[in-house]
């Protein structure tokens, strides 16, 4: 490492003043480009937030205001009041946590089998799994609805959790990650007589932690954003999940007019916890997602 | 190792086989057909599920109605749920029907009933309506299970007939609360320029042209719903739109309709009119616009349910910038007026327990015929009652008597609706009638906005009509 | 590689996933095939006790439907436009991010934000930004009441308001808005994957290039892109699969009508087509369309894999 740095320093000393100017100019351009893109990325969020604190009258102005003339928070109050928010949060959290835990166990075991074990038909099975990702899942709704009813799971959290426990995408993500861990480690552990599960727990899981955390986040996001399925199988007020509950605020069913500021407030409320989780676990999520591409 | 594999495989196959047979039988259970039990309602404990689209404020009206209902029928428990909008209710129930998990009662539009009827899921109401079976209420008084002739006559005819517009003469739904389209106009402006409120479409065009001369930067008329406009004009002209005849449901491709679409196209080209989709927002926004340099309209045709949205915002002193007037929509022939009727009806679904079905009927009868509920619901929603006697409810009477073009605009809207009760019509309902509705709305938008040259105009309009028919036929 | 007596273990580990997949994925697929082969199948009709003929008429009907080709065209066009554009843009941003030190983390976070949002909700925000409110837009009698925030912004640079998504807007204006939105939506994932890849490239390659004073553009095309090719391939393949399932972005901006006022359905896609059929209780047609879509995605993915096997360097 020190060798590396010193070589760079030597190189730096060699560059002429002219090159240094070019370097600065390039850096300026880089930052300009990145900031421009960052602004583009952020603008819709800004628009969402300012719309959520505008009065309906101001929102409907024919010439929109870039910054609200009067900041009001009653849209948030209204979005909150339309639903029993505490209950919604708790339900969502429960479904999110349980399904994440179960899903992680299933995903880890499957990914381990695909990454480390040899068995007949492995590649064919893996390809078949990947192929299922290409079918629009909405088509499954009706069949799954009948299945869930046959099992007697209607109006239970089970119906919200079990059908979505397996995600081929997560298995794929984790398999890619596991495959990066040198096989020698596994063989060495085998020689030492370490059991698969112990090896998995002691070596692979810690190494794949970023991916596992990003799966956790994605899974929680799923619980947060799911809408059509929960409404179908568990729509009693005491079972409702967050998006479903907040949806009431969107459109006045009698006049069919949408109060967009309230709707934006609802969207902000729904997104906020996700942002928080994201900010806190940023490092892991990024590592997890970015690693998925390696060894594609 | 092969052994385990084959074992696993056979296990998997067995599981799949089991599942498939389960799922198939799940589908093929026939809908139980309701038969009136000997003794009618036996007073047993039942829980009725009710799907609707009511927001918070209407739900509180409903809750107090249920409270009162329970003093009469303490053993009938009502569980009600808001399922998004009307389309959401339909989609939810049509999925639930496949597993026989449908609710007992639901908000419905005629085309929803037609869809549910594909699975024979809706209970016909005639046997209830005509029933003279006696029922003892919790307070000791007695009543009959069915409706008295007086109660039947009390329903506004147009609304009542909607429930039996399915071609077999049977009654499938009762109206709950209704809206129609109204013409809102800027009364202050009309008085100031000595304009008269149009009663026919010819007068409408003339008034629009007059207004355009007074204020060239305005769009004189905003019409919210393109589909309603098309369907209403069909009804007013007496030209075919759709039919219940299975050999050909879609009849709207005819010369009368092509002609009025062409006429409306010139209105739009001359800047006389806009619609919600074309304008990009509810046209009430245009009607209530007041700012300097803002584009305005002076007339707006929209749902009576949205009356309050047609009221401009007050200035700092609490004064309204103008007075709103409300009239019936223009007609082709004022002698034979026609105005579209919209808004929810109620239908009852088949259920294995006949007592649940009877209890559902009792609740439905209560909601549709109870004076206080009809009046309260109308005042809270901006819709109008479906029974004429609701006018006699003291609160509603008081509400109507205050009607004006400002704070009490809702009352003004309601009284215009009540006055034109003979004009209401609904178009035939069949499985696929919503597609027709969607298509004529899209067709009108297209014919109004496309930049066709005069030379190709006729051919293009004809083509658009034909395409709409093709689309309807494919999708039904 | 690992001794074969543990083969049963692999199946044991896989069993929970396989059982669940069989019930909630494989069985629905089988049912989809069944529904696609029953002529004019509809679950609600089946509940009503109707019997259906067996045959391939659903497929024939879907393929003969003029709008189906239109849906296919839109889907392909959006794929062809957004996949390269978002990949190139993501690559540029990732390379730039990799080349800076201060604020790198902050900017990384910003670029990842769109990943944690609900696409229909953000679509509504986009639609509000492009929406023009007015009448006869683009004709001599036009009246514009609200030009939309995007038109206000381009107005600052002296550009006339463009009719992006409203009645009378051009097909290409619509496509532009969709491309902007889809690319915006797709960027975070791609940036992250590519940045992760960049950071794992051994610095020695660059140092060697520096010693040889290779120009930047050559370093990019000869070192960065080849070494990043597995990640690029991955990003492109998943983008194509996602692109063929494009639907919610169009609903977000144009609503359920899948097109601007005056030309509804103009922007409909394959998945939108499937949804339309489902909404009209035509599960037979929906299933047939879904299987056709599956076949197309399958073929394209195979081509992608073949090309990437040839072009990527490991």
Q: Cα separation of B98 and B100, whole Å? A: 6
Beta carbons of C118 and A225 less than 8 Å apart: yes
Q: Considering only alpha carbons, which residue of chain C is nearest residue A103? A: C17
Domains and their CATH numbers in chain C: 59-131+166-311 (1.10.3720.10)
- B95 and A142 within 8 Å at the Cβ level: the answer is yes
Distance from the C23 Cα atom to the nearest Cα atom in chain B, whole angstroms: 7
Alpha-carbon distance of B280 to B437, in angstroms, equals 20
**Average pLDDT score, chain B:** 88
Q: Is pLDDT above 60 for A197?
A: yes
Q: Do A205 and A245 fall into the same domain?
A: yes
Say if A296 falls within a structural domain: no
Residues A100 and A33 in one domain: no
Return the pLDDT at B8.
46
Mean pLDDT value of segment B77-88 = 86
Q: Do the Cβ atoms of A236 and B81 come within 8 Å?
A: yes
Residues 432-451 of B with CB under 8 A from C: 432, 435, 438, 442, 445-446, 448-451
Structure token digits, residue C203: 């610095």
Does B20 sit within 8 Å of C30, measured CB to CB? yes
The answer to whether the CB atoms of C166 and B285 lie below 8 A apart is no
A293 has a pLDDT exceeding 90: no
Residue B51, pLDDT > 60, answer: yes
Cα separation of C186 and A12, whole Å?
A: 38
**A53, burial (CB in 10 Å: exposed 0-12, middle 13-18, buried 19+):** buried
Query: Which chains are adjacent to chain C, needing at least 3 Cβ pairs under 8 Å?
Result: A, B
CB neighbourhood size of A214 (10 A): 25
Contact A248 B295 (CB under 8 A): no
Residues B295, A62 contacting (CB under 8 angstroms): yes
Q: How many CB contacts within 8 angstroms connect chain A with chain B?
A: 79
Domain check: are A87 and A219 in the same one?
yes
Whether residues A251 and A179 share a domain: the answer is yes
Q: Strand B345-348 to strand C143-146: parallel, antiparallel, or no bridges (unpaired)?
A: unpaired
Output the pLDDT for position B348: 96
Residue of B424 and C310 predicted with greater confidence: B424
Helices (H), C149-282: 149-156, 171-199, 203-211, 216-219, 225-244, 248-254, 270-279
Residue C259's pLDDT is what? 85
Which chains are within 8 Å of B by 3+ CB pairs? A, C
Per residue in A40-66, pLDDT tens? 888 888 888 888 888 877 776 656 677
Residue A234: strand, helix, or coil: coil
The alpha helices in chain A, defined as continuous H runs, are: 2-14, 17-52, 56-59, 74-81, 85-116, 122-132, 141-150, 157-161, 168-180, 183-191, 196-199, 205-207, 209-225, 228-233, 242-246, 260-291
Residue with tokens 């870039």: A66
Predicted confidence (pLDDT) at residue B1 exceeds the cutoff of 50: no
Q: Which residues contact A191 (CB under 8 A, 6 or more apart)?
A: none
d(Cα A105, Cα A167) in Å, to the nearest integer?
A: 12
List chain B residues with CB under 8 Å of C146.
280
Measured between CB atoms, does B22 come within 8 Å of chain C?
Answer: no
> Among A234-248, B53-67, B328-342, C196-210, whose mean pLDDT is lowest?
A234-248
The Cα of B361 is separated from the nearest Cα of chain A by a number of Å equal to 23
Neighbour-count burial of B291, counting CB atoms closer than 10 A to its CB (0-12 exposed, 13-18 middle, 19+ buried) = exposed
Nearest in space to B76 (alpha carbons), one of B114, B32, B117, B42: B42
CA distance A42 to A38: 6
CB atoms within 10 A of CB A204: 23
Residue A253 forms part of a structural domain: yes
Domain-embedded: residue A174: yes
The pair of structure tokens assigned to A62 is 């024919």
Can you give the pLDDT at residue A246?
65
The reply to whether A22 and A108 lie within a common domain is no
**Is residue A59 included in any domain, yes or no?**
no
Nearest Cβ partner for A146 among B5, B26, B285: B26
A232–B53 CB contact, under 8 Å: no
Report all structural domains of chain B as residue ranges with CATH numbers, in order of start. 46-178+342-401 (3.40.190.10), 181-340+432-474 (3.40.190.10)
A87 and A41 together in one domain:
no
Residues C235-270: pLDDT tens digits? 888 888 888 888 878 887 887 788 888 788 889 998
B16 touches chain A (CB under 8 A): no
Q: By CA distance, what is C114's nearest residue in A?
A: A41
Cβ-defined contact of C17 to A106 (cutoff 8 Å): yes
Distance from CA of A131 to the nearest CA of C (A): 7
The least confident of B28-32, B457-461, B464-468, C149-153 is B28-32
Range 262-301 of C in CB contact (< 8 A) with B: 262-265, 276-277, 279-282
Taking the Cβ of residue A254 and every Cβ of chain B, the question of whether any pair is shorter than 8 Å is answered with: yes
Q: Between B25 and A206, whose confidence is greater?
A: A206
Give the closest of B85, B291, B382 to A253, CB-based. Answer: B85
pTM of the model: 0.82
- pLDDT for residue B99: 83
CB proximity A55 to B under 8 Å: no
Indicate which CATH number applies to the domain containing A151. 1.10.3720.10
pLDDT at A24 over 60: yes
Does residue A120 share a domain with residue A14? no
Exposure class string for B105-122: b at 16+ Cβ within 10 A, else e: bbbbbbbbbbbbbbbbbb
Strand B46-52, strand B134-136: pairing: unpaired
Task: Name every chain A residue with its beta carbon within 8 A of the beta carbon of B53.
Answer: 253-254
Longest dimension (CA), chain A: 77
Which among A113, A139, A291 has the least Cβ separation from residue C290?
Answer: A139
| Cβ atoms A235, A88 nearer than 8 A | no
Among candidates B19, B294, B303 on the partner chain, residue whose Cβ is nearest the Cβ of A255 = B303
Number of domains in chain A: 2
Q: What pLDDT was estimated at residue B19?
A: 46
Supply the pLDDT for residue C3.
47
| Minimal CA separation from B448 to chain A, in Å | 24
A42 touches chain C (CB under 8 A): yes
Rounded to the nearest 10 degrees, what angle do helices C66-99 and A17-52 cross at? 130
Which residues numbered 52-81 in C keep a CB inside 8 Å of some CB on B?
Answer: 61, 65-67
HSE-CB at A30 with a 13 A cutoff on CA atoms is 20
Q: pLDDT (tens digit, 9 = 90+) per residue, A100-146?
A: 999 999 999 999 898 888 888 888 888 888 878 777 776 788 788 88
User: Using one digit for the tens of pLDDT, what is the confidence trace for B306-339?
Assistant: 888 899 988 878 889 999 999 999 999 999 999 9
pLDDT lower than 70: segments of chain C: 1-6, 116, 118-121, 137-141, 143, 145-147, 311-314
pLDDT computed for residue B339 by the predictor: 94
CA of A251 to nearest chain B CA: how many angstroms apart? Answer: 8
Min Cα separation B253/chain A (Å): 29
Report the C-alpha dihedral over residues B284, B288, B294, B299, rounded to 10 degrees: 70
Q: Is C172 exposed, middle or buried (0-12, 13-18, 19+ CB in 10 A)?
A: exposed
User: Averaged over B107-134, what is the pLDDT?
Assistant: 91
Q: Which chain A residue lies closest to C277 (C-alpha atoms)? A: A139
The verdict on residue A211 lying in a domain is: yes
Task: Name chain A contacts of B313, Cβ cutoff 8 Å.
Answer: 57
* B8 interfacial to chain A (CB closer than 8 Å): no
**Quick check: B99 and A82 CB within 8 A?**
no
**A143 inside 8 A of chain C by CB:** yes
Spatial distance between the Cα atoms of B204 and B198, rounded to a whole number of angstroms: 5
Shared-domain flag, residues A247 and A162? yes
Please give the C-alpha separations between residue A130 and each of A143, A171, C20, C238, C241, in angstroms, as whole numbers. Answer: 21, 10, 15, 11, 11
Of C130, C125, C92, nearest to C111 by C-alpha is C92
Which residues 56-115 of A have a C-beta within 8 angstroms of C?
61-64, 66, 105-107, 109-110, 112-114
- C274 SS3 class: helix
Q: Residue A196 contacts by C-beta under 8 Å, 6 or more apart in sequence?
A: A112, C6, C9
Structural domain contains residue A69: no
Indicate if A215 and A104 belong to the same structural domain: yes
Chain C contact for A18, CB < 8 A?
A: no
Q: Lowest-pLDDT range, B34-48, B144-158, B406-420?
A: B34-48
By three-state DSSP, how is residue B35 classified? coil
Question: What is the SS3 assignment for B347?
Answer: strand
Average pLDDT over residues B368-372: 93
Tell me how far apart the alpha carbons of residues C86 and C240 are, in angstroms, rounded to a whole number.
11
Same domain, A33 and A83: no
Q: Which residue of C has its CA nearest to A273?
A: C116
Provide the sign of the torsion angle of the four alpha carbons A33, A38, A41, A46, taken in this order: negative
* Cα dihedral sign, C36-C37-C41-C42: negative
The residue segments making up the domain with residue A37 are 2-52
Distance from CA of B423 to the nearest CA of A (A): 22
CA C95 to the chain's CA centroid: 23
Classify residue A89: in a domain, yes or no: yes
**Residues A128 and A216 grouped into a single domain:** yes
Evaluate whether residue A60 is within a structural domain. no
Cβ–Cβ contacts within 10 Å for residue C6, how many?
A: 15
Tokens 């002209």 -> residue: B237
Residue B127 Cα distances to A191, B40, B119, B145, B356, angstroms: 81, 11, 20, 10, 15
Q: Is the domain of A46 the same as that of A80?
A: no
Nearest chain C residue to B88 by CA: give it.
C279
């Amino acid at each position: 490492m020190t060798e590396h740095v010193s070589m760079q320093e030597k190189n730096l000393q060699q560059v002429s003043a002219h090159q240094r100017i070019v370097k600065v100019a390039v850096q300026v351009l880089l930052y300009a480009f990145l900031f421009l893109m960052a602004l583009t990325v952020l603008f819709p969020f800004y628009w969402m937030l300012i719309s959520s604190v505008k009065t309906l009258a101001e929102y409907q102005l024919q010439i929109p205001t870039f910054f609200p003339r009067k900041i009001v928070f009653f849209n948030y109050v209204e979005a909150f009041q339309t639903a029993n928010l505490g209950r919604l949060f708790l339900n969502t959290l429960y479904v999110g946590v349980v399904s994440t835990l179960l899903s992680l166990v299933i995903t880890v075991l499957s990914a381990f089998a695909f990454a480390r074990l040899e068995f007949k038909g492995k590649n064919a099975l893996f390809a078949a799994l990947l192929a299922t990702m290409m079918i629009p899942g909405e088509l499954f709704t009706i069949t799954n609805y009948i299945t869930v009813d046959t099992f007697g799971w209607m109006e239970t959290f089970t119906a919200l959790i079990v059908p979505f426990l397996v995600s081929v995408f997560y298995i794929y993500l984790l398999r890619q990650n596991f495959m990066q861990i040198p096989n020698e480690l596994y063989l060495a552990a085998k020689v030492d007589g370490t059991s698969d599960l112990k090896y998995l727990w002691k070596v692979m899981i810690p190494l794949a932690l970023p991916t596992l955390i990003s799966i956790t986040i994605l899974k929680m996001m799923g619980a947060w954003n799911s809408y059509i399925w929960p409404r179908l199988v568990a729509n009693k007020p005491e079972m409702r999940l967050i998006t479903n509950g907040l949806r009431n605020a969107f459109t006045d069913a009698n006049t069919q007019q949408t109060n967009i500021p309230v709707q934006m407030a609802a969207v902000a409320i729904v997104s906020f916890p996700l942002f928080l989780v994201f900010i806190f676990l940023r490092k892991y999520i990024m590592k997890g997602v970015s690693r998925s591409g390696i060894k594609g | 190792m092969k052994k385990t594999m084959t074992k696993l495989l056979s296990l998997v196959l067995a599981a799949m086989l089991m599942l498939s047979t389960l799922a198939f039988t799940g589908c093929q259970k026939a809908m139980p057909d309701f038969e009136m039990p000997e003794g009618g309602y036996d007073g047993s404990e039942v829980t009725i599920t009710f799907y609707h689209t009511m927001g918070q404020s209407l739900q509180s009206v409903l809750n107090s109605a249920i409270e009162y209902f329970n003093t009469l029928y303490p053993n009938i428990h009502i569980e009600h749920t808001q399922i998004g909008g009307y389309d959401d209710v339909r989609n939810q129930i049509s999925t639930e029907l496949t597993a026989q998990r449908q609710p007992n009662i639901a908000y419905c539009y005629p085309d929803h009933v037609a869809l549910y009827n594909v699975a024979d899921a809706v209970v016909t109401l005639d046997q209830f309506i005509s029933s003279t079976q006696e029922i003892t209420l919790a307070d000791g008084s007695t009543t009959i299970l069915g409706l008295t002739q007086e109660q039947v006559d009390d329903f506004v005819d147009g609304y009542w007939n909607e429930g039996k517009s399915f071609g077999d003469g049977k009654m499938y739904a009762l109206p709950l609360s209704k809206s129609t389209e109204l013409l809102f106009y800027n009364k202050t402006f009309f008085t100031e320029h000595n304009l008269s409120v149009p009663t026919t479409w010819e007068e409408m065009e003339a008034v629009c042209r007059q207004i355009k001369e007074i204020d060239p930067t305005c769009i004189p008329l905003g019409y919210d719903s393109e589909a309603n406009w098309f369907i209403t004009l069909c009804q007013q002209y007496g030209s075919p739109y759709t039919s219940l005849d299975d050999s050909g449901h879609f009849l709207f491709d005819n010369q009368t309709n092509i002609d009025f679409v062409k006429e409306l196209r010139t209105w739009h080209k001359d800047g006389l009119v806009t619609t919600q989709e074309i304008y990009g927002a509810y046209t009430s926004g245009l009607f209530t616009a007041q700012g300097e340099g803002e584009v305005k309209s002076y007339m707006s045709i929209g749902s009576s349910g949205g009356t309050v949205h047609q009221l401009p915002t007050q200035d700092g002193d609490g004064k309204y910038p103008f007075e709103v007037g409300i009239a019936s929509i223009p007609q082709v022939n004022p002698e034979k007026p026609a105005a579209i009727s919209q808004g929810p009806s109620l239908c009852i679904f088949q259920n294995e327990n006949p007592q649940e079905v009877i209890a559902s009927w009792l609740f439905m009868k209560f909601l549709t015929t109870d004076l206080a509920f009809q009046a309260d619901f109308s005042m809270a929603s901006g819709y109008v009652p479906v029974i004429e006697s609701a006018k006699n409810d003291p609160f509603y009477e008081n509400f109507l008597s205050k009607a004006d073009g400002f704070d009490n605009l809702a009352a003004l809207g309601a009284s215009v609706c009540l006055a034109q009760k003979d004009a209401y019509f609904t178009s035939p309902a069949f499985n696929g009638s919503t597609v027709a509705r969607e298509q004529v709305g899209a067709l009108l938008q297209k014919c109004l906005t496309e930049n066709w040259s005069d030379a190709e105009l006729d051919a293009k309009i004809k083509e658009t009509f034909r395409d709409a028919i093709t689309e309807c036929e494919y999708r039904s | 590689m690992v001794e074969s007596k543990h083969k049963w273990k692999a199946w044991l580990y896989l069993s929970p996933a396989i059982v669940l997949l069989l019930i909630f994925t494989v069985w629905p697929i089988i049912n989809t095939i069944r529904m696609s082969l029953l002529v004019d199948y509809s679950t609600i009709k089946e509940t009503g006790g109707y019997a259906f003929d067996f045959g391939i008429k659903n497929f024939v009907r879907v393929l003969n439907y003029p709008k189906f080709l239109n849906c296919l065209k839109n889907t392909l066009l959006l794929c062809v436009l957004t996949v390269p554009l978002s990949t190139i843009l993501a690559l540029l941003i990732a390379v730039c991010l990799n080349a800076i030190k201060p604020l790198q983390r902050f900017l990384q976070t910003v670029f990842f934000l769109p990943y944690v949002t609900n696409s229909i909700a953000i679509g509504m925000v986009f639609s509000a930004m492009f929406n023009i409110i007015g009448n006869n837009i683009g004709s001599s009698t036009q009246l514009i009441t609200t030009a939309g925030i995007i038109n206000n912004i381009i107005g600052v640079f002296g550009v006339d308001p463009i009719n992006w998504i409203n009645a009378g807007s051009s097909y290409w204006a619509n496509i532009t808005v969709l491309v902007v939105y889809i690319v915006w939506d797709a960027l975070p994932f791609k940036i992250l994957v590519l940045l992760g890849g960049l950071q794992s490239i051994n610095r020695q390659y660059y140092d060697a290039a520096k010693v040889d004073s290779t120009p930047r553009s050559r370093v990019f095309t000869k070192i960065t892109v080849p070494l990043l090719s597995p990640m690029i391939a991955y990003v492109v393949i998943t983008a194509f699969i996602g692109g063929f399932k494009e639907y919610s972005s169009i609903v977000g901006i144009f609503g359920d009508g899948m097109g601007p006022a005056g030309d509804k359905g103009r922007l409909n896609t394959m998945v939108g087509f499937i949804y339309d059929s489902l909404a009209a209780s035509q599960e037979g047609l929906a299933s047939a369309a879904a299987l056709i879509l599956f076949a197309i995605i399958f073929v394209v993915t195979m081509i992608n894999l073949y090309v990437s096997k040839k072009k990527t360097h490991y």
